[in-house]
Structure 1
């Protein structure tokens, strides 16, 4: 009923102002929770407890009216502005958007003005954290080394299928692309080709973890919100566990080294990931 109401009123619901597009296991849940504590960031409607609609990847076939149904009406935005003295900013946090081969094209066609936030975590740690999440959710029977070895066969052809068939979404590609997902630049290139550099804020996850208040302030400034201090910066969706096998770590570090160097040069980004 709520979804139908949102769609019926979609012509009164402006499109979002910002997107947090990645990376998975890079702090997007924590950042989204911090953003929701700002009085000028409304929650998604009608699924109040979620951070994304999944529209530009899994739900694209539902259409623009369905997507708009997730965001506040112009009337609600105006009420927030009167109450707080500044315009609100609506958005979503969707780590799959950076990784999906068609998301950048879809976003650019609908929202060429959108402000984009990208959290980028050390890809070695990201891959391991991704595996821990899948393991904890019961969809990963393999140990980390075996999962890395099986990645190519598990995901073979899935990206190509999503490109050929715009309505196809691959859970296997989302779940098991541990290594590929950390080659950030190849997944960011479609975004960089379609949006102005000033629309992006690239933020190393490690910086976000070490200095959450300062990082939060940078995000607010980027998406056009007034400063807002939080009483605390709790870490959400953390999955502590035993450490990674040193041999696996060394192999992944070597694999990502040239990709990280190219990324840093392309974005002008300084990261303290293992060299």
Structure 2
């Protein structure tokens, strides 16, 4: 079954590449953060008839780990222009393609690449309690086999050593992949303001929408309306909202460690106020 699925995907990718010039490019990206509800938002938006997801899968990961494959490879993942034209005639508005790759927010080169290759694109970023995000990310990477340290507190202690020189290494060799930078950045990925500040000069605040995922899950209709307004897309009814990719923790995290991490993130959380228009949900 896996072999058959792989063969189908290979044929689909080849077909996409051969017909790439006849396909549309994305108008917006869900750029992160990892374990912050990106899949849930992606699936809600994909139910809108004017928002077109990639043909094969949610995240293409072109601007972070597959950039060497070239723009034709990337464009081959999206719907055909002929289908887009039919939707334009039906709804009186050009549909918008999009994808969701949560590593884009954290990868040091992704923002520059996106700004260069998709100069009018908009970005959506979701954030959540960075302590909970770190715990969830560790459980996620452990379950997928990318993490070998089963104790969260030890993985946190190892992070600085694992990530030492990672950003410079990725800049020095743009086609490289740094395993720990992608899979072991439990605290670094939760310093959201640092990553947003890197994107602001490239896109401007008007093309960046930052969403508190707690607010999305608590009041999905309100946040969905906010996203459609940001994208300038008409409201055509609400989709079915579901929570996807939730994962329980393999073992409880000591409260003392949680408090240490809350203290660590405090200064970064304060810097989010300007992006969210108020305190993040976990600091209210």
Give the shorter-chain TM-score range.
over 0.9
**Contact map agreement 1:253 1:274 (CA 8 A) in 2:** no
For residues 159 and 175 of structure 1, the distance between their equivalents in structure 2, rounded to whole angstroms, comes to 14
Match of 1:260 among 252, 269, 275: 269
1:83-111 deviations in whole A, cap 9, x for unaligned? 33432110111110000000111011111
Name the residue aligned to 1:150: 158
Residue 269 of structure 1: how far off its partner (Å): 4.1
Name the residue aligned to 1:246: 255
Give the CA RMSD over aligned residues.
1.7
**Contact map agreement 1:38 1:228 (CA 8 A) in 2:** yes
The alignment partner of 1:79 has SS state of helix
Name the residue aligned to 2:125: 118
C-alpha spacing 1:165/1:240, structure 2 compared with 1 (3 Å) = same
For residues 160 and 229 of structure 2, the distance between their equivalents in structure 1, rounded to whole angstroms, comes to 40
C-alpha spacing 1:199/1:82, structure 2 compared with 1 (3 Å) = same
For residues 240 and 253 of structure 2, the distance between their equivalents in structure 1, rounded to whole angstroms, comes to 30
1:4-42 deviations in whole A, cap 9, x for unaligned? 222222222232110111110000000011111111222
For residues 239 and 165 of structure 2, the distance between their equivalents in structure 1, rounded to whole angstroms, comes to 47
Name the residue aligned to 1:173: 181
**Contact map agreement 2:211 2:276 (CA 8 A) in 1:** no
Match of 2:197 among 185, 189, 201: 189
Q: Size of the alignment, in residue pairs?
A: 272
Provide TM-score, normalisation by structure 1.
0.93
1:187-226 deviations in whole A, cap 9, x for unaligned? 1222101112111111111111111121112112212221
Match of 1:233 among 234, 237, 241: 241
Name the residue aligned to 1:20: 30
The alignment partner of 1:202 has SS state of strand
C-alpha spacing 1:266/1:30, structure 2 compared with 1 (3 Å) = closer
**Contact map agreement 2:212 2:276 (CA 8 A) in 1:** no
For residues 198 and 86 of structure 2, the distance between their equivalents in structure 1, rounded to whole angstroms, comes to 37
Farther-moved stretch of structure 1 (260-269 vs 68-77): 260-269
1:216-255 deviations in whole A, cap 9, x for unaligned? 1211221222113335311000112354310110000000
The alignment partner of 1:78 has SS state of helix
Q: List alignment gaps of at least 5 residues for structure 1.
A: none
Residue 67 of structure 1: how far off its partner (Å): 0.8
**Contact map agreement 2:193 2:271 (CA 8 A) in 1:** yes
Farther-moved stretch of structure 1 (252-261 vs 68-77): 68-77
Residue 266 of structure 1: how far off its partner (Å): 6.0
Farther-moved stretch of structure 1 (20-29 vs 135-144): 135-144
For residues 266 and 36 of structure 2, the distance between their equivalents in structure 1, rounded to whole angstroms, comes to 18
For residues 65 and 230 of structure 2, the distance between their equivalents in structure 1, rounded to whole angstroms, comes to 27
Name the residue aligned to 1:106: 113
Q: List alignment gaps of at least 5 residues for structure 2.
A: 1-10
Farther-moved stretch of structure 1 (71-80 vs 228-237): 228-237
The alignment partner of 2:282 has SS state of coil
**Contact map agreement 2:125 2:208 (CA 8 A) in 1:** yes
